[in-house]
Amino acid sequence: MDPLSSSILPEGVRARVLAGINGLDVHVLEAGHEQPGRPAVLLLHGFPEMAYSWRKVLPALATAGYHAIAPDQRGYGRTTGWDGRYDGDLASYRFLNLVRDAMGVVAALGHRSVEAVVGHDFGVTVAAYGALARPDFFKRMVLMSGPFAGPPPLEAARPGRGPDIHAALAALPRPRKHYQWYYSTREANEHMWKAPQGVHAFLRAYFHHKSADWTANKPIPLKGWTAEELAKMPTYYIMDLADDMPATVAKEMPSPTEIADNKWLTEDELVVYSREYERTGFQGGLQWYRVRTGGRFNGELEVFAGRTVDVPSAFISGRNDWGVHQNPGALDKMQKTACTKMKDVHLVEGAGHWVQQEQADEVNRLLLQFLKST
How much is the pLDDT for 1? 87
> CB–CB of 46/123 below 8 Å?
yes
Taking the alpha carbons at both ends of the chain, their separation in whole angstroms is 38
How much is the pLDDT for 157? 60
**Spatial separation of the C-alpha atoms in residues 151 and 130, rounded to whole Å:** 12
Question: What Å distances lie between residue 333 and 6, 129, 150, 245, 327, CA to CA?
Answer: 42, 16, 8, 30, 11
**Spatial separation of the C-alpha atoms in residues 262 and 335, rounded to whole Å:** 34
Amino acid identity, position 204: R
- CA-wise closest residue to 52 among 100, 109, 14: 14
pLDDT in tens, the chain (374 residues): 899 999 999 999 999 999 999 999 999 999 999 999 999 999 999 999 999 999 999 999 999 999 999 999 999 999 999 999 999 999 999 999 999 999 999 999 999 999 999 999 999 999 999 999 999 999 999 999 999 999 999 976 665 556 799 999 999 999 999 999 999 999 999 999 999 999 999 999 999 999 999 999 999 999 999 999 999 999 999 999 999 999 999 999 999 999 999 999 999 999 999 999 999 999 999 999 999 999 999 999 999 999 999 999 999 999 999 999 999 999 999 999 999 999 999 999 999 999 999 999 999 999 999 999 98
> CB–CB of 188/282 below 8 Å?
yes
How much is the pLDDT for 150? 97
How much is the pLDDT for 138? 98
How much is the pLDDT for 156? 61
**Spatial separation of the C-alpha atoms in residues 218 and 47, rounded to whole Å:** 21
Please state the pTM of the whole predicted model. 0.97
> CB–CB of 227/176 below 8 Å?
yes
Radius of gyration of the chain (CA): 19
Amino acid identity, position 90: L
How much is the pLDDT for 263? 97
Question: What Å distances lie between residue 49 and 57, 172, 243, 357, CA to CA?
Answer: 14, 32, 23, 11
Domain made up of 6-156+300-373: CATH architecture: 3-Layer(aba) Sandwich (3.40)
The domain ranges of the chain are 6-156+300-373, 164-286
Backbone angles phi, psi at 227, to 5 degrees: -60, -40
